[in-house]
Amino acid sequence: MNKKAIISIFVGTVVVIGGLVWLGQPSANIEANQANKNPAPDSLRVEETSFDFGTISMGNGKVSHVFKVKNAGLEPVTMSKLYTSCMCTSASITVGVKKFGPFGMPGHGAIPSIQAILEPDKEAEVEVIFDPAAHGPAGIGRIQRIITIENNAGSPMDLSFSALVTP
């Protein structure tokens, strides 16, 4: 084979491979349609992002509070994980009749993917349970804990609570 034939085969191969790569790319319309199916950023809303239990006694046991989370967007939102900032706190989420949890702090047990889907204009309830005795005598004083909801509608949502723990 001469040089001209080898160069022609090489150029033809490059053109064919380039054409296949170009044809394999999704069109702009397909990408735009897929983007429209994702929820709007930060379409999750809450009535309150923080709650204060006030003064609570370690001796009186656990306390709980329910945060209501609403999908204010036009597309379903998938809440993928729920976890807390401390082992003294657990959280569960209820969407419709289905309850996910309780979940705790990463590193103190598995935090599984929950894939809870919240439809537009629907609410979920996040129940938080705090055990003031979990840290023993070292847990007395002002505390603040965070509950995080990872979702596909933007940044993770943080809910928090505080309390003044007495013996």
The second-level CATH assignment, the architecture, of 44-166 is Sandwich (2.60)
pLDDT tens, position by position, 121-156? 999 999 999 999 999 988 999 999 999 999 999 899
> Rounded to an integer, what is the distance from CA 72 to the centroid of its chain?
16
Residues contacting 83, CB < 8 A, separation 6+: 91, 103, 104, 105, 106, 111, 147, 148
pLDDT digits (tens, 9 = 90+) for 40-85: 777 999 999 999 999 999 999 999 999 999 999 999 999 999 999 9
Does residue 33 have a pLDDT over 50? Answer: no
pLDDT at 42: 76
Q: Across the chain, what does the average pLDDT equal? A: 86
Examine the pLDDT at 38 and tell me if it is beyond 90. no
Q: Name the phi and psi angles at 7, rounded to 5.
A: -65, -40
Predicted model pTM: 0.75
Taking the chain, what is the end-to-end CA distance rounded to the nearest angstrom?
92
